[in-house]
Amino acid sequence: MNQGKLIVLSAPSGSGKTTLVKHLLHKEELNLGFSISAASREPRGAEVHGKDYYFLSLREFKDKIKADEFLEWEEVYRDNFYGTLKSEVHRLWDSGKHVIFDIDVVGGLDIKRIYPDRTLAIFIKPPSIEELKIRLKKRKTESEDKINMRVAKASTEMATAPQFDAIVTNDDLEKAQEEVYQLVKKFLLG
């Protein structure tokens, strides 16, 4: 039987979870492989198909839902579907790796529900909603409208934090990196 485990990092958009995921991926001893999600949105900036996401059309995404190809999926924003393909998790497990997810809170909690004992679900908390807004503006990747939509969603997402196995506040990046590393190391290596 496959012994692969699952590490979920979930947070409101702009909380810095992607940076933390990259930090963990650099730690070879953790033997982590990144779960590339499928998404129905357009690529942003330098994003690459098959590396950051599997970019699908809305139609393709819905066909895969019908074919039961997703472990979890969600319409994170209107007409923007995101999901984890079952084949992706098996691809990583088959290569002998543990899987790390950079997904939203609902998807993260779904994974935890599906694999309760094999999953460590960590909630990354931004210092405040105000700070989140500043970070999203600095990123300059979304329009004002989209930023407001993401900030509004963040308040609801913050309320799910107690359902996670651990909460890490990202107000000091180095400290958050170390905290997350220690949690994951303990879970995977004992």
Min dist CB 25 to ligand 5GP, Å, is 15
CA dihedral 15, 164, 36, 84 (to 10 degrees): -130
Min dist CB 52 to ligand 5GP, Å, is 8
What value, to the nearest 5°, has the Cα angle with vertex 109 and ends 138 and 121? 75
Residues 44-63 that bind ligand 5GP (CB under 6 A): none
Min dist CB 120 to ligand 5GP, Å, is 17
Span near ligand 5GP by CB under 6 A; candidates 71-79, 114-122, 123-131, 180-188? 71-79
Residues 105 and 157 sit within 8 Å (Cβ to Cβ): yes
Using CB under 6 A as the binding rule, whether residue 126 contacts ligand 5GP is answered as: no
Between CA 118 and CA 108 the distance in angstroms is: 13
Min dist CB 94 to ligand 5GP, Å, is 19
For residue 153, the SS3 value is: helix
Residues 4-33 that bind ligand 5GP (CB under 6 A): 13
- Interface residue with ligand 5GP, options 8, 103, 122, 147 (CB under 6 A): 103
Using CB under 6 A as the binding rule, whether residue 83 contacts ligand 5GP is answered as: yes
Helix axes 17-25, 173-189, angle to 10 degrees: 50
Using CB under 6 A as the binding rule, whether residue 176 contacts ligand 5GP is answered as: no
Amino acid (one-letter) located at 118: R
